[in-house]
Amino acid sequence: MKKIVTLLLGCVLLSGCDSKPKLPTDENSFRSYFLQIILNAYDDRGSSEALKMHGPITEADVPELVEASTNWSSKKRRNAAHLLLILRSDNADQLRLKFITETKDVDAWAVMVGGFRVLELHPDWAGKRPDLIKKGLESSDMKTLAAAIRAGAISKYPGIEAVVEKLMDSPDAKIREACLSSLTPEMAIRVQPRLKQMMRELKKQLRPDSSDYREMLVMNLLSTGDPEIRKEIRDYYEDGEDHGRLELGSMLNIHTDAWIDDYLWELWQTPDKHINEPKYLYPIQFGALSTAIWHIAEKKNFDVRPRWVRACVDVDRMPVHQGSAIDEDCAKLAYFVSGKKHSREWLDDKRWTVRTLETWLKAHPK
Protein backbone atom coordinates (compact mmCIF):
# COMPACT_ATOMS: atom_id res chain seq x y z
CA MET A 1 0.00 0.00 0.00
CA LYS A 2 2.85 2.36 0.83
CA LYS A 3 4.28 1.84 -2.68
CA ILE A 4 0.94 2.74 -4.29
CA VAL A 5 0.69 5.94 -2.23
CA THR A 6 4.23 6.90 -3.28
CA LEU A 7 3.39 6.31 -6.93
CA LEU A 8 0.20 8.36 -6.62
CA LEU A 9 2.20 11.27 -5.22
CA GLY A 10 4.53 10.93 -8.20
CA CYS A 11 1.55 11.18 -10.54
CA VAL A 12 0.51 14.47 -8.96
CA LEU A 13 4.01 15.93 -9.30
CA LEU A 14 4.45 15.00 -12.96
CA SER A 15 4.10 17.67 -15.62
CA GLY A 16 4.90 18.18 -19.27
CA CYS A 17 2.28 15.73 -20.59
CA ASP A 18 -0.64 16.56 -22.83
CA SER A 19 -2.74 13.70 -21.44
CA LYS A 20 -2.65 11.10 -18.69
CA PRO A 21 -4.33 7.73 -18.67
CA LYS A 22 -6.99 6.92 -16.12
CA LEU A 23 -5.47 6.28 -12.70
CA PRO A 24 -5.12 2.50 -12.14
CA THR A 25 -6.63 0.80 -9.12
CA ASP A 26 -4.10 -2.00 -8.66
CA GLU A 27 -0.34 -1.97 -8.29
CA ASN A 28 0.33 -4.18 -11.31
CA SER A 29 -1.15 -1.57 -13.65
CA PHE A 30 1.15 1.23 -12.53
CA ARG A 31 3.99 0.35 -14.92
CA SER A 32 1.63 0.70 -17.87
CA TYR A 33 0.24 3.91 -16.38
CA PHE A 34 3.64 5.55 -16.15
CA LEU A 35 4.72 4.16 -19.51
CA GLN A 36 1.81 5.98 -21.13
CA ILE A 37 2.81 9.19 -19.34
CA ILE A 38 6.34 8.86 -20.77
CA LEU A 39 5.03 8.14 -24.27
CA ASN A 40 2.80 11.22 -24.15
CA ALA A 41 5.35 13.54 -22.50
CA TYR A 42 6.11 16.81 -24.26
CA ASP A 43 9.43 17.42 -22.51
CA ASP A 44 12.27 15.70 -20.70
CA ARG A 45 11.01 16.69 -17.26
CA GLY A 46 7.72 14.95 -17.71
CA SER A 47 9.28 11.78 -19.11
CA SER A 48 12.22 11.58 -16.69
CA GLU A 49 10.02 11.88 -13.61
CA ALA A 50 7.65 9.22 -14.93
CA LEU A 51 10.58 6.95 -15.83
CA LYS A 52 11.81 7.11 -12.24
CA MET A 53 8.41 5.89 -11.07
CA HIS A 54 8.15 3.26 -13.83
CA GLY A 55 11.60 1.75 -13.49
CA PRO A 56 13.73 0.10 -16.23
CA ILE A 57 12.16 -0.50 -19.65
CA THR A 58 11.89 -4.27 -20.04
CA GLU A 59 10.37 -7.02 -22.16
CA ALA A 60 7.00 -6.48 -20.44
CA ASP A 61 6.79 -3.00 -21.99
CA VAL A 62 7.47 -4.10 -25.57
CA PRO A 63 3.85 -4.53 -26.74
CA GLU A 64 2.98 -0.95 -25.79
CA LEU A 65 6.20 0.38 -27.34
CA VAL A 66 5.51 -1.44 -30.60
CA GLU A 67 2.00 -0.02 -30.68
CA ALA A 68 3.26 3.49 -29.93
CA SER A 69 5.89 3.27 -32.66
CA THR A 70 3.14 3.45 -35.31
CA ASN A 71 0.83 5.83 -33.45
CA TRP A 72 -0.69 8.80 -35.31
CA SER A 73 1.16 11.16 -32.92
CA SER A 74 4.71 11.99 -34.03
CA LYS A 75 5.54 12.88 -30.44
CA LYS A 76 4.51 9.42 -29.28
CA ARG A 77 6.51 7.75 -32.07
CA ARG A 78 9.64 9.68 -31.09
CA ASN A 79 9.19 8.86 -27.41
CA ALA A 80 8.77 5.19 -28.31
CA ALA A 81 12.11 5.35 -30.14
CA HIS A 82 13.78 6.87 -27.08
CA LEU A 83 12.43 4.07 -24.90
CA LEU A 84 13.51 1.36 -27.34
CA LEU A 85 17.04 2.74 -27.05
CA ILE A 86 17.10 1.96 -23.32
CA LEU A 87 15.15 -1.28 -23.52
CA ARG A 88 16.63 -4.15 -21.49
CA SER A 89 15.79 -7.28 -23.45
CA ASP A 90 17.57 -10.09 -25.26
CA ASN A 91 15.88 -9.06 -28.51
CA ALA A 92 16.36 -5.30 -28.03
CA ASP A 93 18.60 -4.92 -31.09
CA GLN A 94 16.15 -6.86 -33.21
CA LEU A 95 13.34 -4.51 -32.18
CA ARG A 96 15.48 -1.43 -32.81
CA LEU A 97 16.40 -2.62 -36.29
CA LYS A 98 12.74 -3.41 -37.02
CA PHE A 99 11.85 0.13 -35.97
CA ILE A 100 14.52 1.59 -38.27
CA THR A 101 13.43 -0.43 -41.29
CA GLU A 102 9.68 0.05 -40.87
CA THR A 103 9.09 3.58 -39.54
CA LYS A 104 7.88 6.27 -41.92
CA ASP A 105 8.69 9.08 -39.47
CA VAL A 106 12.04 10.68 -40.29
CA ASP A 107 12.31 12.33 -36.87
CA ALA A 108 11.63 9.07 -35.01
CA TRP A 109 14.16 7.32 -37.29
CA ALA A 110 16.68 10.04 -36.41
CA VAL A 111 16.14 9.43 -32.69
CA MET A 112 17.01 5.77 -33.18
CA VAL A 113 20.05 6.06 -35.48
CA GLY A 114 21.24 9.08 -33.51
CA GLY A 115 21.19 7.14 -30.24
CA PHE A 116 24.40 6.82 -28.22
CA ARG A 117 26.85 4.55 -30.11
CA VAL A 118 24.05 2.96 -32.17
CA LEU A 119 25.77 3.41 -35.54
CA GLU A 120 29.18 2.84 -33.98
CA LEU A 121 28.06 -0.60 -32.84
CA HIS A 122 25.88 -1.29 -35.89
CA PRO A 123 27.34 0.58 -38.89
CA ASP A 124 25.32 -1.61 -41.27
CA TRP A 125 22.14 0.02 -39.94
CA ALA A 126 23.18 3.40 -41.36
CA GLY A 127 22.19 2.59 -44.94
CA LYS A 128 18.95 0.73 -44.23
CA ARG A 129 16.81 3.78 -45.05
CA PRO A 130 18.26 5.91 -47.86
CA ASP A 131 14.79 7.45 -48.29
CA LEU A 132 14.90 8.82 -44.74
CA ILE A 133 18.50 9.97 -45.14
CA LYS A 134 17.30 12.07 -48.07
CA LYS A 135 14.44 13.53 -46.02
CA GLY A 136 16.69 14.10 -43.04
CA LEU A 137 19.23 16.06 -45.06
CA GLU A 138 16.43 18.48 -45.96
CA SER A 139 15.08 18.72 -42.41
CA SER A 140 14.95 21.95 -40.42
CA ASP A 141 15.27 19.94 -37.19
CA MET A 142 18.96 20.00 -36.28
CA LYS A 143 18.95 16.64 -34.50
CA THR A 144 17.34 14.99 -37.50
CA LEU A 145 19.78 16.72 -39.86
CA ALA A 146 22.74 15.58 -37.76
CA ALA A 147 21.53 11.97 -37.70
CA ALA A 148 21.01 11.99 -41.46
CA ILE A 149 24.52 13.35 -42.05
CA ARG A 150 26.03 10.67 -39.84
CA ALA A 151 24.03 7.87 -41.43
CA GLY A 152 24.81 9.21 -44.90
CA ALA A 153 28.53 9.47 -44.19
CA ILE A 154 28.78 5.95 -42.74
CA SER A 155 26.71 4.35 -45.50
CA LYS A 156 28.37 6.42 -48.24
CA TYR A 157 25.04 7.83 -49.37
CA PRO A 158 25.42 9.13 -52.97
CA GLY A 159 26.36 12.82 -53.02
CA ILE A 160 26.77 13.11 -49.23
CA GLU A 161 30.16 14.82 -49.57
CA ALA A 162 28.76 17.64 -51.69
CA VAL A 163 25.80 18.07 -49.33
CA VAL A 164 28.06 18.32 -46.27
CA GLU A 165 30.45 20.74 -47.97
CA LYS A 166 27.50 23.00 -48.79
CA LEU A 167 26.06 22.78 -45.27
CA MET A 168 29.46 23.56 -43.72
CA ASP A 169 29.37 26.91 -45.51
CA SER A 170 25.90 27.75 -44.22
CA PRO A 171 25.55 31.15 -42.52
CA ASP A 172 23.44 29.38 -39.88
CA ALA A 173 25.72 28.39 -36.98
CA LYS A 174 23.28 25.66 -35.88
CA ILE A 175 23.55 23.94 -39.25
CA ARG A 176 27.36 24.05 -39.09
CA GLU A 177 27.24 22.57 -35.58
CA ALA A 178 24.94 19.80 -36.81
CA CYS A 179 27.60 18.95 -39.39
CA LEU A 180 30.42 18.99 -36.86
CA SER A 181 28.54 16.65 -34.55
CA SER A 182 28.10 14.06 -37.30
CA LEU A 183 31.29 13.86 -39.35
CA THR A 184 33.17 10.59 -39.69
CA PRO A 185 37.01 10.74 -39.83
CA GLU A 186 36.83 10.14 -43.59
CA MET A 187 34.38 13.00 -44.02
CA ALA A 188 36.48 15.26 -41.80
CA ILE A 189 39.44 14.72 -44.13
CA ARG A 190 37.24 15.68 -47.08
CA VAL A 191 36.22 19.01 -45.49
CA GLN A 192 39.54 19.58 -43.72
CA PRO A 193 40.23 22.99 -45.38
CA ARG A 194 36.93 24.30 -43.99
CA LEU A 195 37.68 22.84 -40.57
CA LYS A 196 41.09 24.55 -40.56
CA GLN A 197 39.44 27.85 -41.37
CA MET A 198 37.02 27.35 -38.46
CA MET A 199 39.99 26.66 -36.17
CA ARG A 200 41.69 29.88 -37.24
CA GLU A 201 38.52 31.77 -36.46
CA LEU A 202 38.32 30.02 -33.10
CA LYS A 203 41.85 31.12 -32.20
CA LYS A 204 40.69 34.72 -32.25
CA GLN A 205 38.55 33.92 -29.23
CA LEU A 206 40.27 31.58 -26.76
CA ARG A 207 37.08 31.17 -24.72
CA PRO A 208 34.22 30.80 -27.21
CA ASP A 209 30.66 30.91 -25.93
CA SER A 210 29.96 27.35 -27.01
CA SER A 211 32.33 24.76 -25.51
CA ASP A 212 30.36 22.08 -27.38
CA TYR A 213 31.23 23.75 -30.68
CA ARG A 214 34.92 23.88 -29.74
CA GLU A 215 34.93 20.22 -28.71
CA MET A 216 33.26 19.07 -31.93
CA LEU A 217 35.64 21.11 -34.07
CA VAL A 218 38.76 19.93 -32.24
CA MET A 219 37.73 16.26 -32.26
CA ASN A 220 37.02 16.35 -35.99
CA LEU A 221 40.38 17.94 -36.73
CA LEU A 222 42.22 15.45 -34.54
CA SER A 223 40.48 12.54 -36.26
CA THR A 224 42.09 13.48 -39.60
CA GLY A 225 45.47 12.37 -38.25
CA ASP A 226 47.19 15.44 -39.72
CA PRO A 227 50.40 15.97 -37.64
CA GLU A 228 50.47 19.71 -38.34
CA ILE A 229 46.87 20.12 -37.22
CA ARG A 230 47.47 18.10 -34.07
CA LYS A 231 50.42 20.33 -33.19
CA GLU A 232 48.33 23.46 -33.75
CA ILE A 233 45.61 22.14 -31.45
CA ARG A 234 48.15 21.24 -28.79
CA ASP A 235 49.61 24.75 -29.01
CA TYR A 236 46.11 26.21 -28.81
CA TYR A 237 45.50 24.52 -25.46
CA GLU A 238 49.01 25.11 -24.14
CA ASP A 239 48.65 28.83 -24.79
CA GLY A 240 45.38 28.96 -22.86
CA GLU A 241 44.74 29.23 -19.13
CA ASP A 242 45.27 26.26 -16.80
CA HIS A 243 41.62 25.16 -16.80
CA GLY A 244 41.62 25.31 -20.60
CA ARG A 245 44.78 23.24 -20.83
CA LEU A 246 43.06 20.42 -18.96
CA GLU A 247 40.09 20.55 -21.32
CA LEU A 248 41.75 18.51 -24.06
CA GLY A 249 42.23 15.48 -21.83
CA SER A 250 38.72 15.81 -20.49
CA MET A 251 37.05 15.82 -23.90
CA LEU A 252 39.06 12.77 -24.96
CA ASN A 253 37.62 11.02 -21.91
CA ILE A 254 34.16 10.57 -23.39
CA HIS A 255 35.11 9.53 -26.92
CA THR A 256 36.01 5.98 -27.96
CA ASP A 257 37.41 6.43 -31.48
CA ALA A 258 40.22 4.05 -32.41
CA TRP A 259 42.74 6.84 -33.06
CA ILE A 260 42.46 8.29 -29.54
CA ASP A 261 44.86 5.84 -27.85
CA ASP A 262 47.75 6.80 -30.15
CA TYR A 263 46.95 10.48 -29.87
CA LEU A 264 46.96 10.31 -26.07
CA TRP A 265 50.39 8.72 -26.32
CA GLU A 266 51.56 11.62 -28.48
CA LEU A 267 50.39 14.03 -25.79
CA TRP A 268 52.12 12.01 -23.11
CA GLN A 269 55.46 11.96 -24.93
CA THR A 270 55.74 15.63 -25.86
CA PRO A 271 57.10 17.97 -23.14
CA ASP A 272 55.51 21.29 -22.29
CA LYS A 273 57.09 24.07 -24.34
CA HIS A 274 56.66 26.46 -21.41
CA ILE A 275 58.43 24.32 -18.81
CA ASN A 276 62.00 23.12 -19.29
CA GLU A 277 61.83 20.28 -16.77
CA PRO A 278 61.82 16.72 -18.12
CA LYS A 279 60.68 15.24 -14.78
CA TYR A 280 57.69 17.55 -14.42
CA LEU A 281 54.24 16.16 -15.25
CA TYR A 282 52.36 19.08 -16.73
CA PRO A 283 48.55 19.35 -17.19
CA ILE A 284 48.15 17.94 -20.71
CA GLN A 285 50.44 15.00 -19.89
CA PHE A 286 48.54 14.40 -16.67
CA GLY A 287 45.25 14.48 -18.59
CA ALA A 288 46.55 12.10 -21.27
CA LEU A 289 47.69 9.45 -18.78
CA SER A 290 44.57 9.78 -16.65
CA THR A 291 42.32 9.50 -19.71
CA ALA A 292 44.15 6.46 -21.08
CA ILE A 293 43.79 4.68 -17.74
CA TRP A 294 40.11 5.62 -17.60
CA HIS A 295 39.56 3.99 -21.00
CA ILE A 296 41.55 0.89 -20.02
CA ALA A 297 40.52 0.21 -16.44
CA GLU A 298 37.11 1.88 -16.11
CA LYS A 299 35.39 1.94 -19.52
CA LYS A 300 37.36 -1.12 -20.70
CA ASN A 301 37.25 -0.06 -24.35
CA PHE A 302 41.05 0.19 -24.81
CA ASP A 303 43.39 -2.79 -24.54
CA VAL A 304 46.10 -2.71 -21.87
CA ARG A 305 49.32 -1.75 -23.61
CA PRO A 306 52.76 -1.97 -21.98
CA ARG A 307 53.53 1.65 -22.78
CA TRP A 308 50.81 2.94 -20.43
CA VAL A 309 51.78 0.53 -17.67
CA ARG A 310 55.40 1.65 -18.03
CA ALA A 311 54.30 5.29 -17.95
CA CYS A 312 52.68 4.74 -14.55
CA VAL A 313 55.88 3.18 -13.23
CA ASP A 314 57.87 6.18 -14.51
CA VAL A 315 55.43 8.64 -12.94
CA ASP A 316 56.37 7.41 -9.48
CA ARG A 317 59.82 8.86 -10.03
CA MET A 318 58.46 12.32 -10.91
CA PRO A 319 58.09 15.15 -8.35
CA VAL A 320 54.57 16.03 -9.53
CA HIS A 321 52.17 18.37 -7.75
CA GLN A 322 49.20 16.25 -8.92
CA GLY A 323 50.68 13.24 -7.13
CA SER A 324 47.66 11.96 -5.22
CA ALA A 325 45.35 12.06 -8.25
CA ILE A 326 47.72 10.33 -10.64
CA ASP A 327 48.69 7.83 -7.93
CA GLU A 328 45.05 6.83 -7.66
CA ASP A 329 44.76 6.44 -11.45
CA CYS A 330 47.85 4.23 -11.59
CA ALA A 331 46.58 2.23 -8.62
CA LYS A 332 43.35 1.58 -10.55
CA LEU A 333 45.45 0.33 -13.46
CA ALA A 334 47.42 -1.95 -11.11
CA TYR A 335 44.24 -3.40 -9.66
CA PHE A 336 42.86 -3.88 -13.17
CA VAL A 337 45.89 -5.79 -14.52
CA SER A 338 46.08 -7.89 -11.33
CA GLY A 339 42.40 -8.83 -11.51
CA LYS A 340 41.82 -7.71 -7.93
CA LYS A 341 38.93 -5.59 -6.69
CA HIS A 342 39.52 -1.96 -5.78
CA SER A 343 40.58 -1.20 -2.24
CA ARG A 344 40.75 2.16 -0.51
CA GLU A 345 44.21 1.11 0.67
CA TRP A 346 45.58 1.74 -2.84
CA LEU A 347 46.48 5.34 -1.97
CA ASP A 348 48.55 4.24 0.99
CA ASP A 349 50.51 1.49 -0.72
CA LYS A 350 52.35 3.03 -3.63
CA ARG A 351 54.98 0.30 -3.48
CA TRP A 352 52.34 -2.36 -4.16
CA THR A 353 51.17 -0.42 -7.21
CA VAL A 354 54.67 -0.19 -8.67
CA ARG A 355 55.48 -3.81 -7.83
CA THR A 356 52.25 -5.04 -9.45
CA LEU A 357 52.79 -3.01 -12.61
CA GLU A 358 56.41 -4.11 -12.94
CA THR A 359 55.36 -7.75 -12.53
CA TRP A 360 52.81 -7.33 -15.31
CA LEU A 361 55.46 -5.72 -17.57
CA LYS A 362 57.80 -8.67 -17.12
CA ALA A 363 55.00 -10.96 -18.34
CA HIS A 364 54.05 -8.58 -21.19
CA PRO A 365 57.31 -7.00 -22.46
CA LYS A 366 55.87 -5.94 -25.81
pLDDT digits (tens, 9 = 90+) for 41-60: 877 776 788 888 888 999 99
CA 45 to each of CA 73, 106, 322: distance values in angstroms, whole numbers, following the listed order: 19, 24, 39
The pLDDT score that the predictor gives to residue 173 is: 86
Judged by average pLDDT, the poorest of 68-72, 224-228, 316-320 is 316-320
The pLDDT score that the predictor gives to residue 345 is: 59
With a cut of 90, say whether residue 28 has pLDDT above it.
no
pLDDT digits (tens, 9 = 90+) for 237-274: 776 655 555 677 677 887 788 888 998 998 888 766 55
Q: What is the mean pLDDT of residues 266-286?
A: 69
Judged by average pLDDT, the poorest of 71-80, 207-216, 323-332 is 207-216
Mean pLDDT of the chain: 82
The pLDDT score that the predictor gives to residue 14 is: 45
With a cut of 80, say whether residue 157 has pLDDT above it.
yes
Instruction: Specify whether the CB–CB gap between 89 and 62 falls below 8 A.
Output: yes
The pLDDT score that the predictor gives to residue 319 is: 57
pLDDT digits (tens, 9 = 90+) for 196-245: 888 888 766 555 456 778 888 999 999 898 888 888 888 777 766 555 55
With a cut of 70, say whether residue 82 has pLDDT above it.
yes
What's this model's pTM, rounded to 2 decimal places? 0.75
With a cut of 90, say whether residue 62 has pLDDT above it.
yes
With a cut of 70, say whether residue 280 has pLDDT above it.
no
The pLDDT score that the predictor gives to residue 145 is: 97
